[in-house]
Homo-oligomer: A and B are copies of this chain.
Amino acid sequence: MKRHSQIWIAGLTLSLLTSCQQYSAPKAYNAPKVINQSRDADTSVELARQALSSSRAFEIVESLTVEVGPRLAGTDKDIVAVDWAMEKLWKMGFDRVYKESVQVPAWSRGTAIASIVAPYEQPLVITALGGSVATPERGIQAPIVRFESLAELEVASVGRIKGKIVFIDHKTERHITGKGYGESVGGRSKGAIVAAQKGALAILIRSIGTDSDRMAHTGMMRYDEDVTKIPAAAMSNPDADLINAMLTRSNNVVLSLNMSPENQGIATSYNVIAEVRGSSKPNEIVLIGAHLDSWDEGTGALDDGAGVAIVTAAAKLIQDLPERPARTIRVVLFAAEELGLVGAKAYAEQHKDEMELHYIAAESDFGAGKIYQIDFNVHPSVFEKVKFEHSAMIRNGVALGDNEASGGPDVSILPALGVPVASLRQDGNDYFDYHHTPNDTLDKIDPKSLAQNVAAYAQFAYMMAQSELDLRPVNKTGLED
């Protein structure tokens, strides 16, 4: 396994550099002294070849979206999804398949009806934000007060807000990294607290979404136990435009809002786990994750059926190799990510004694767009070497990126526990067109892009299961994607 084949490597590197326009070597790039073994690089190339010629991942996400569909954590369909996953993973022949219970908040959507009452009557398309309380049964009718952003709401006077319905009108920017989401999502997650502190009766936000479909984007919101809980909903982008048009005509735009969601206590869900048992270091773990739960209005194809399919299909390719890699590859399908990384937090707690054995972790939770870059959070001294081990990924359009990865939502809590992570960054230009809406359905997934993701995850997991580098200690300060 230690044979070096400099000629082969040089040839590979040259062909990689010439075959991919996206990659350019950093100026200060020095060829690392420790390079990956040629046999591992061969295997990496072969894994990618197999992934790109396989439709397995698409078949998995098709199965999940057709045979389960929406699977809100804490509902009956969530358990249907857990059973589906256990059976699917078992039938695929993984070395080990098991589940670990997680206590999750249960919430039901109920109905959400809103309309503009003045200056002109019009119905609105809204959806309750996850975790919202209901309105009184008779509903709420009050004037609206508009804010450009959460920041503007935070500095507004109580006098402007008291007795009104707060409207946060923050538009979400389209960007390959999805950074617009991070910039606007604060209004969704924290808006109800800030609005209630200033006496608002309810909060309605412009959807955190880049589309112009008349569909509202749901998503989790939070309360503060010391602050009055007010109903919270999102409206579609065209509805937000309509309200703005009303506001140009009248300072007194009055809304009627009636919502009946219900928080229903605690339910049991499960993290579902499958393993490809390592050959020589079976206790060391390369974790590739996704989340099994979804919102309830689409079929959870992009979020996160795609991720479930990608990491499962990637691990299956490695399971089917003639020889197991050194470390164990652990596929974790997290519970209740949408409700606040609930399964991930439970996993970290349940596996706290094993954290030191987690060699590296990554999560696929950004739809099915192609991966254009891999980033890491490893010790700076080995960063260039880790990157070089992943050189074969360049062939499939994956550039070797920076050392500032968070690892993905569920996995983002692991660096603080000392675990190195990687982010396999996907093209997210259209992800927030569909995110958390009824439009999150199978037809939005391009099978070829999905297969490219499988290739990258298989290559990543395999090379990390074989690597002889020491990736620790990592930056624990919670680097953000």
Contact = CB atoms under 8 A, between A and B. Distances in A.
A122 B68 CA distance: 8
Contact of A443 (B238, B439, B441): B238
Interface in A389-404: none
Nearest to A84: B120
A299 B122 contact: yes
Nearest to A69: B122
A242 B245 CA distance: 37
B66 A444 contact: no
A470 interface: no
A66 B439 contact: no
Interface string A215-249: 10000000000000000000001100110011001
Contacts of A69: 120-123, 242
Interface in A443-458: 443-444
Nearest to A438: B214
A60 to B, nearest CB: 14
A441 B246 contact: no
A242 B299 CA distance: 10
Contact of A214 (B122, B123, B237, B439): B439
B62 A245 contact: yes
Contacts of A66: 120, 122, 242, 245-246, 249
Given A62-B245, A238-B441, A443-B212, A70 B299 contact: no
A437 B236 CA distance: 14
Most buried by B among A125, A214, A242: A214
A238 B442 contact: yes
Interface string A235-271: 0011001100110010000000000000000000000
A213 interface: yes
Contacts of A241: 441-443
Interface in A38-94: 62, 65-70, 77
Contacts of A249: 66-67
A439 B213 contact: yes
Contacts of A245: 62, 66, 442
Interface in A253-292: none
A199 interface: no
A70 B122 contact: yes
A67 B120 CA distance: 6
Given A214-B438, A298-B214, A123 B443 contact: no
A259 B313 CA distance: 42
A65 to B, nearest CB: 8
Contacts of A214: 215, 298, 437-439, 441
A206 to B, nearest CB: 13
Most chain B CB within 10 A, of A65, A238, A246, is at A238
Contacts of A62: 245
A241 B301 CA distance: 13
A173 to B, nearest CB: 16
Given A62-B245, A249-B66, A237 B443 contact: yes
B68 A125 contact: no
A250 to B, nearest CB: 11
A183 to B, nearest CB: 21
A247 B465 CA distance: 41
Interface string A312-336: 0000000000000000000000000
Interface of A: 62, 65-70, 77, 120-123, 125, 212-215, 237-238, 241-242, 245-246, 249, 298-299, 437-439, 441-444
12 contacts: A66-B120, A67-B120, A67-B249, A69-B242, A125-B438, A212-B443, A213-B213, A213-B215, A214-B441, A241-B442, A241-B443, A242-B442
Minimum-distance CB pairs A-B, first 7: A238-B441, A214-B438, A69-B122, A66-B245, A212-B443, A214-B439, A67-B120
